[in-house]
Every structure is written in C-alpha cells, then in structure tokens.
Structure 1
C-alpha cells in the first residue's frame, strides 16, 4: 500500500494519546496506526504550497518568490509584535491580515524541552502546543488582537525562554514544572496595555504523545538529499516522526515536498 502527496503539517486530534493525521489531497494516513510498522518514504518533487510549481522550497512550504509575496509568510507571522492590521496598515494583504490578526490571541507557557513563552490564535489551542511537542501548557493572557499578544511575548521573553530545544524535546529529556507558579511569577512583567487581559485562574493542560521509544541521539532526516528512507516508526511527537534507528523527520519543516510513502 502506498500514498503520495505534498507534505503539510500533520493534522492532530487532542486525545490521549494525541492522534496524528498526514493529509494529502485525496487521502490521509492516521500515523498512530503505523506505529511499529516499517515504512518507506521517497522524495518525488517540490510543490510550492502557493503556486503549485515544482520549484525548490525556500521556507514555510513556499518557493523563494512566493515566500516574499504571500501574506502567510510576512514578518508579522513569526514576529507578532510587528502586526499592524489594528491600525489599518497593510503589509501584503490587508483583508487577510485583518482576518488573521484581529481575532483573540493567547499568550501561553509551554513545557516541551523547557518552559517557554509563545503566541497563538485562540482557535489554535491546544493545536499549537501539540505541534511544539509540549507535555504541559497553560494560557496566561487572552488579548483581542495579534499585536497585543506580540508585545506581551516580547516583554515576557526577557524573563523566560521563547525557544524549544528540539533534540531535548524528542529525547523526552524533560521535567514537570508548576506552570501556575510560572504564570504568577511572570504576571508583573506583562506590559501595561495587556495587564487587563491576564487570566487570573486556570489550570495547565497535559498532553500525551504516541511514542513507544524515544531516541537517545536523534538524527534529522533530509529526504531531499537522501531521496529514499526506510525505517520502523516508533513514535510521533510535535511534528516529528520518530524511527527505531533514532532517525527523526520533521514534517512541518518539509512542507511543500511531494513524497511517496509505502507501508511495508
């Protein structure tokens, strides 16, 4: 049995454990059902997520030209504090920017390799935490637009990390933290314009990932360079597939690549 399609980040379902789905144009794979099975992955070609052309992917699933043109890859996506739709100022596509930026956003703490601060749209909770491989997370601020979330994150990352160590996350080299205590500790550093949006009382969310065996020394697979890879799938965490030989494959980092997957 084989499947072929362009990679996009895996869809997820919040359950215990998390359910993962690799979705193609006309089919999908429940990756949980492939645990402990051998699969072969082959690089077929590129397919830009915007124009659909077979051109080398630059970043975020887009070829170089599209990356610098499409609103989905504008600077405010990675740096929410640069959002300007609340001022009516266009960067690439004001209507798209209004739809995306002018909606409730969450500033959160997540623990995947360490406690980190992050920003996501409210409708992406808990998906964002799943994608980061966090085993626990908590909302600390809910604001009405992306700009306020961004400036809050900028203020808080002076006191807590905003990065995830992907190797440590995949090795499951983690410690449980009291995120309620972290939330209270950081409360005083929230900027004045966002203080009224602090979430006074909530509890952390715990997440369980479908992993039978964690790698001790994860090594990243470059499918474009290798062209072919075969291995036994033993886990899925974050947006990574984990194989028995300690190879790991970041699906999201390979968006825009067409692969053929065979289940042996």
Structure 2
C-alpha cells in the first residue's frame, strides 16, 4: 500500500513494547505492524511545517524564514534556562510562551546511551523519553515553570551529560544503572531556587522498544543524497527506523519532508 504526506515525528503509545504511529496526511501507519516488511521511502518535495511552502527545510521542520520567526523554534526551546515568560517578557509570542513555559516541567535522568539529564514539560512524560530511545528514566525535580527547570539542568550538567550518543543508543550497547542512586548523588547540586521541588520518592520507568535486530554499524539515510530508499524494517527506537542493511532513518530530523511510502 502507498501512503503520501509530510513527515512529522511519530506518535507513540507507552506500552510494552512501545507502539509507533507515523501520520501522513489523513492516513497513519501503525509501524509495529510493518516490522519485517519491505518499505520504500521516496522524497517528493519540501513542505515547511509552518508556511507549507516547498522551500528547503532549515531546522526542526521549518524553512529558514519560519525558523527565525515562529515561537516554536525560539532559543528557549533548546535552552530552557533562557525562558522569560515568568517575567512577562516576550521573545516572539508572549501568549504562546506563557502557555508553554508557565506549566509544570520535569528535570529527569534518562539512560539511552549513558546517563543524561534533560528537561521536558510534565505532560510530555514519558513521550520525551521514548523519543530519545531511553530504556530507563526517572523524574528528579518538578518545577512550576520552564525557567526553573532550565537552570536546574544547567547546574546538573556540570556533573552528568546532557547529550545522547545516538549511534550507541541504536546499537543497543547499553548498561543498566541505578538512577535512584544518581538522583541522590545529584541532589546537593540542584540550585537553591529549585531545591523545594526535588522528588524524593519515585522509581525508575522501564521502556521496551519494538526491535527485531539491532545494527552493529549505523548508516544514516539522507533523503537529499538518497531520495529513494528501499529496505526491510527491523526495528523502531527513539524516532529512528532501523533497517536490515543497517541503514537508520531519523523521522524527527526529517520533519517537513514530503514523502511517499510504499509497504510490501
């Protein structure tokens, strides 16, 4: 069957294993159901997630113009410590920034390739962990706004990484660690403004991904260099599709690409 539409990050459902859904136009593909099937991906054109025009995608699914204009791509998205809505200060769109920033946020530890610290809106737990390919994670601080979570992350990344090695994550070269012990180890380094929001009693969340075969090496698919690709789907982890020939395709990093997908 052939599907066509603009790529957006796959929707997920927290089950064992994680359930993945690729939305394309008015259709969707339940990706778990096409494991071990042959998939052909064909790049057709660009479609900016904001303006909808056929213009090269710059970052995060947006063309260059939109990337530097829309509130969804402002600096505070990637650097929560730059949030200013709690001060009633606008960066691009104060109403949007208040809706996104002035809500509960979680500072968490996740183990995808190594232990890392991160920030997400409380409503995005455990979706954020799924998207990062973490096989275990734990909340350590819950703040009332994005700024406090951001400064906490900045303080803690002096002692623990804030990055994921996506190659190591996809090869599944992982070790289980005691995230509760890490939480206690990092507690003294939480900024004074956020100490009252420390979460003292919770347990790790375990995540199970639908993967039949992990790659020993990874070859990333670039649709601009390889506009047509055919392979047998062997797994899904994070926002990556894993193919039998060890090609991997990051759906999220290809948001804004309009594609055709043929499944046999």
Q: TM-score range by the shorter chain?
A: over 0.9
Alpha-carbon distance between aligned partners in 2 of 1:224 and 1:95, rounded to the nearest angstrom: 36
Give the 3-state SS of the residue equivalent to 1:96 in structure 2.
helix
The superposition leaves residues 74-108 of structure 1 with CA deviations (integer Å, 9 ceiling, x where unpaired) of 00000000000000000000000000000000000
Q: Which residue of 1 aligns with 2:78?
A: 78
Q: Which residue of 1 aligns with 2:234?
A: 234
Unaligned runs of 5+ in 2: none
The superposition leaves residues 228-247 of structure 1 with CA deviations (integer Å, 9 ceiling, x where unpaired) of 00000000000000000000
Counterparts of residues 85-100 of structure 1 (less than 5 Å):
85-100=85-100
Q: TM-score, normalised by structure 2?
A: 1.00
Give the 3-state SS of the residue equivalent to 2:149 in structure 1.
helix
Alpha-carbon distance between aligned partners in 2 of 1:210 and 1:223, rounded to the nearest angstrom: 24
Q: Is the 8 A contact 2:108 2:141 kept in 1?
A: yes
Shift of 1:222: 0.4
The superposition leaves residues 174-208 of structure 1 with CA deviations (integer Å, 9 ceiling, x where unpaired) of 00000000000000000000000000100000000
Alpha-carbon distance between aligned partners in 2 of 1:38 and 1:54, rounded to the nearest angstrom: 28
Q: Which residue of 1 aligns with 2:121?
A: 121
Shift of 1:25: 2.2
Shift of 1:223: 1.3
Alpha-carbon distance between aligned partners in 1 of 2:218 and 2:167, rounded to the nearest angstrom: 6
Counterparts of residues 160-199 of structure 1 (less than 5 Å):
160-199=160-199
Alpha-carbon distance between aligned partners in 2 of 1:258 and 1:24, rounded to the nearest angstrom: 9
RMSD: 0.4
Shift of 1:138: 0.0
Alpha-carbon distance between aligned partners in 1 of 2:227 and 2:24, rounded to the nearest angstrom: 19
Shift of 1:11: 0.2
The superposition leaves residues 91-142 of structure 1 with CA deviations (integer Å, 9 ceiling, x where unpaired) of 0000000000000000000000000000000000000000000000000000
Q: Which residue of 2 aligns with 1:57?
A: 57
Unaligned runs of 5+ in 1: none
Alpha-carbon distance between aligned partners in 2 of 1:247 and 1:12, rounded to the nearest angstrom: 22
Q: Which residue of 2 aligns with 1:152?
A: 152
Alpha-carbon distance between aligned partners in 2 of 1:219 and 1:190, rounded to the nearest angstrom: 39
Q: Which residue of 2 aligns with 1:47?
A: 47
> How many residues of Structure 1 are paired with residues of Structure 2 in the alignment?
264
Q: Which residue of 2 aligns with 1:215?
A: 215
